[in-house]
Amino acid sequence: MDSGKKTKLDQDVRTLYDIFQALCRQQRRFWFSPPPQQEPSRRAREAWESLREQWPPIREEELELAFMYGDVDTVNFANLRRVLYLPPLSHHECDFVPVLTIECSRRNADGLKLSFMLVRDDEVEQQLVGIGFRMEKGEGEHGFYHAQLIRDLQTGACVECPRWLPETQPSLPIHAVSSATLLLCTLLSIYGLDSFWKLINEIGQVHRLPVHLEQFSEWFPRNERR
């Protein structure tokens, strides 16, 4: 297939792309061939098996095509009908499957929108249930980095979420200064400090990530880094 001319990404978009590619590798590692002692819980695994049939996981080559050779300016997982499965949670929330979708310009990182849901199998109701959030910098009254509740990921409704949840208010401020730090805040909110820094270490070398981590680490004592 002719993939067309390769796009030269903006520096901040390149950072986002590199992180998403690293997360794709983590997806493959933890959900398709998990290492010993790091397998998802039984319930999380069963929920993922059900989810992947309706929400197919994006592959690294699909992500590359969307960012590098796409014929539209915006990479939108909802349009691609794909999601990104983040590494499993630990501790008492380990039965939830963290699912991420993105909407991002291929030319300017400022408009990044991240949506994620925590999904689990409700054995009583015998269906997949979840709760989700959108992380973005909005406009007008919401012209700041913030998080809002969402009812779905716009990728087809296979997860039951309370329809009464408000999707406009509250709008919770996030201490981000760029789209890259917005992504870091999202990962931190999902995993907490210890697991966040473990994930960052596993992601490894990423274009300009140290610059954004330096901004990010100003929000808590540096000796908290793992």
Mean pLDDT of 208-212: 89
Contacts of 106 (CB under 8 A, 6+ apart): 7, 9, 13, 67, 70, 73, 74, 75
Is the pLDDT at 220 greater than 70, yes or no?
Answer: no
Confidence grade of residue 130 (pLDDT, cut at 50, 70, 90):
very high
Domain contains 1: no
- Average pLDDT on 138-155 reads 89
Question: Which pLDDT value is given to residue 1?
Answer: 39
What pLDDT is stored for residue 3 in this prediction?
Answer: 55
Q: Write down the pLDDT at residue 222.
A: 52
Could you tell me the residue range of the domain that residue 180 belongs to? Answer: 11-216
At residue 84, does pLDDT exceed 90? yes
Identify whether 225 is part of a domain. Answer: no
Give domain status of residue 154, yes or no. Answer: yes
User: Residue 224 above 70 pLDDT?
Assistant: no
Query: Is the pLDDT score of 221 beyond 80?
Result: no
* Domain assignment present for 223: no
Question: Sorting pLDDT into bands at 50, 70 and 90, what band is 223?
Answer: very low
Query: For 170-208, how does the pLDDT look when each residue is reduced to its tens digit (9 = 90+)?
Result: 999 998 999 999 999 999 999 988 889 999 999 888 888
Distances 37 to 8, 33, 138 between C-alpha atoms, Å: 40, 12, 41
Would 226 be classed as within a structural domain? no
Instruction: Evaluate whether 60 touches 24 at the Cβ level (below 8 Å).
Output: yes
Of all residues in the chain, the percent with pLDDT exceeding 90 is 57
Number of domains in the chain: 1
pLDDT score, position 2 = 45
Residue 177 lies in a domain: yes
222 in any annotated domain: no
Say what the pLDDT of residue 78 is. Answer: 92
Q: Is residue 112 part of a domain?
A: yes
> In the predicted model, is pLDDT for residue 104 greater than 90?
yes
Mean pLDDT of the chain: 88
